Amino acid sequence: MLPYSLYLHIPFCRHRCAYCDFNTYAGLDELIPEYTRALCREMAYSAATSGERLGAHSVFFGGGTPSLLPVDSLEAILGSLDQSFVLAGDLELTLEANPGTLSLDYLGSLRRLGVNRLSLGMQSASPGERRL
Ligand code: SF4
């Protein structure tokens, strides 16, 4: 098995939940294209400075709310990952998602891009408890 698991942090959310300690921001979606480019540059830099292309058996998009990323951003990040790392043929590719951000079209695009695992965050199925 290739040795590494990669975690990519996506620090954008629709709302900032009061109980959350993650490094994430609401209302800054206009920075997503710039953040995507920075993430791609960082991966290329890591590959260039490690002296070899490191091998990964899993990639996890966490946040924040990675499912706020438009498909073209995900495509660019996955392209950079592929150039910068050796990815396992049976790569586990996870995207953390907020159920409210998902549509059938978006899920189809995730599948096309190779995402094979979703991590859905939900504190409660009761609207009253969620408001609380
Ligand atoms: S959606 Fe999740 S990551 Fe974003 S602020 Fe709420 S708990 Fe934190």
Give the predicted TM-score (pTM) of the model. Answer: 0.91
Per-residue pLDDT of the chain (132 residues; tens, 9 = 90+): 889 999 999 999 999 988 889 999 999 999 999 999 999 999 999 988 988 889 999 999 999 999 999 999 999 999 999 999 999 999 999 999 998 889 999 999 999 999 999 999 877 889 999 888
Pocket of ligand 1 (CB under 6 A): 13, 16-17, 20, 22, 24, 63-65, 98, 121
Closest atom of ligand 1 to 64 CA is 3
Predicted local confidence at residue 99, as pLDDT: 87
Say what the pLDDT of residue 92 is.
Answer: 98
pLDDT at residue 47, rounded to an integer: 87
The residue whose CA is least distant from atom 7 of ligand 1 is 20
Return the CA Rg of the chain. Answer: 16
Rounded CA-CA distance 43/48 in Å is 9
